[in-house]
């Protein structure tokens, strides 16, 4: 395969939505969305479609030891089909893999039995090999088309076509919880038993809400984006399945060997008044419990990065810093490292997958307990969306605040980290605080049944 990539300037737009709406119905259309102009912190939008090839991982069964990282090896081999000769550019993506890796893919990497009674039919991972992309840089307020000459002409033709007509999105029934409040509290008590018994220090326990729907998922994503703009959002849909992610959390970023992860642990809702909002933010930053949770996950991620980073290079430049979004306050830390020269970004992803902020500590035992207690497999929720560039650059999210569409139903999860001094009623309320606005955005005139 030969490469003659060119970087062509395009008109800059403050939002990627209009551009992506034209591409939305093409095969393999994908949007990695910075949430701009509403979301703080995001910088790049990456849009593409019509991949050269798509690779799916179907199996949800634990793999034999020699097969644990087989999906990541296959994806690495797919990535190597693209030419390495690309223009000298600081753009984040010059062709490569874009897609998702579900939380359930972690069952291949660790000794997890897979006990969930309800399993989504989505693949455990789905990535496309893309030889072109539109990239918007909201810091420089510039946009480019990265493509060879043939692709460039093809894409420009698509961009000049009108957006296709689509069916309006609507829920055909209300969101319903998979378990009652009492059911959640019983599982909370089970987690407390495991913590007191010394099995673990922290468990991230989630619950699922589901509703039937009809119409175009793209319209649903646009509603969700208006309700909760975030810097690590993304949209992927194919057939009757899709992932609509409004994540505030970066999982792994890798550029020129420098690795960064930004775990979130600790949440409060935004206040109704400025004084209430400030009080909630202060309560979060001074909470001994929330800081302890965050520090536990930082230690876990330091260990995960240490598997593939140069010895002594892992650092924590930011610990428990407040970040505020449209609907919640979060405590965010930053862990960095330098990737070993013999390791690839996909090996980094496999070494740290799934993210420690949505499992608990120690990770393997926490995942086993999650598998035992949660009645539904998590699918793409708590997995990752992102890209792996042909030059070895990577950026992925933690897919929280994420809706999964599967066979006419839309699923949302809310979860949180539980430790020894957690309170069941408070934790139950926190799971609702995290996704209530998403449910309301999809049913603006309907009363929620939660």
The catalytic residues are: 249, 265
What values do phi and psi take at 128, rounded to 5? -110, 150
Q: Enter the tokens of residue 204.
A: 């991230």
Q: If you write DSSP's letter for every residue of 172-224 in order, what string do you get?
A: SS--EESS-HHHHHHHHHHHHHHHHTTS-SEEEEEEEEEEEEES-HHHHHHHH
**H/E stretch holding 101:** strand 96-101
Rounded CA-CA distance 54/56 in Å is 7
CA dihedral 153, 159, 161, 162 (to 10 degrees): 180
The DSSP H or E segment spanning 41 is none
Residues in the chain: 450
- Peptide bond connecting 354 to the previous residue in cis, omega within 30 degrees of 0: yes
Burial 27-60 (b: 16+ CB within 10 A, else e): ebbbbbbbbbeebeebebbbbbbbbeeebebeeb
Taking Cα atoms as reference points, which of 29, 30, 408 lies closest to residue 215?
408
CA distance 294 to 201: 12
Distance from C-alpha of 173 to C-alpha of 443, rounded to nearest angstrom: 9
Q: Are 336 and 256 a contacting pair, CB within 8 Å?
A: no
Tokens of 354: 């799934």
* Residue appearing with tokens 């509290």: 185
Q: Quote the CA–CA distance of 254 and 392 in Å, as a whole number.
A: 8
């Amino acid at each position: 395969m030969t490469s003659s990539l060119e970087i062509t300037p395009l008109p800059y737009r403050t939002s990627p939505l209009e551009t992506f709406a034209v591409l939305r119905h093409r095969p393999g259309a994908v949007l990695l969305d910075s949430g701009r102009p509403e979301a703080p912190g995001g910088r790049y939008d990456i849009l593409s479609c019509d991949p050269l090839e798509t690779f799916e991982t179907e199996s949800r069964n634990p793999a034999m030891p020699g097969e644990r990282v087989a999906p990541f090896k296959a994806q690495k081999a797919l990535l190597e089909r693209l030419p390495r000769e690309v223009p000298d550019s600081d753009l984040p993506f010059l062709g490569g893999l874009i897609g998702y890796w579900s939380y359930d893919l972690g069952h291949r990497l660790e000794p997890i039995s897979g006990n969930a009674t309800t399993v989504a039919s989505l693949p455990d991972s789905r990535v496309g090999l893309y030889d072109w992309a539109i990239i918007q840089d909201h810091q420089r307020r510039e946009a480019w088309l990265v493509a060879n000459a043939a692709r460039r002409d093809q894409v420009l033709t698509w961009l000049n076509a009108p957006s296709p007509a689509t069916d309006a999105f609507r829920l055909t029934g209300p969101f319903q919880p998979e378990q009652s409040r009492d059911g959640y509290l019983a599982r909370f008590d089970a987690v407390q038993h495991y913590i007191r018994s010394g099995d673990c220090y922290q468990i991230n326990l989630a619950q699922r809400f589901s509703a039937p729907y009809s119409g175009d998922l793209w319209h649903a994503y646009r509603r969700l984006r208006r309700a909760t703009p975030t810097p690590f959002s993304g949209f992927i849909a194919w057939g009757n399945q899709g992932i609509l992610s409004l994540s505030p959390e970066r999982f792994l970023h890798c550029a020129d060997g420098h690795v960064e992860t930004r775990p979130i642990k600790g949440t409060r809702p935004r206040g109704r008044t400025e004084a209430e909002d400030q009080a909630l933010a202060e309560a979060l930053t001074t909470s001994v419990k929330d800081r302890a949770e965050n520090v536990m996950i930082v230690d876990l991620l330091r260990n995960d990065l240490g598997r593939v980073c140069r010895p002594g290079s892992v650092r924590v430049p930011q610990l428990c810093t407040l970040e505020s979004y449209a609907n919640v306050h979060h405590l965010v830390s930053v862990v960095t490292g330098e990737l070993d020269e013999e390791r690839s970004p996909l090996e980094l992803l496999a070494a740290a997958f799934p993210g420690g902020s949505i499992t608990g500590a120690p990770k393997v035992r926490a995942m086993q307990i999650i598998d035992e207690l949660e009645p539904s497999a998590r699918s793409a929720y708590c997995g990752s969306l992102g890209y792996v560039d042909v030059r070895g650059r990577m950026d992925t999210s933690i897919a929280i605040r994420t809706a999964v569409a599967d066979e006419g139903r839309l699923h949302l999860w809310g979860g949180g980290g539980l430790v020894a001094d957690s309170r069941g009623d408070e934790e139950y309320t926190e799971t609702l605080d995290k996704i209530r606005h998403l449910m309301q955005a999809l049913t603006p005139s309907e009363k929620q049944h939660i």
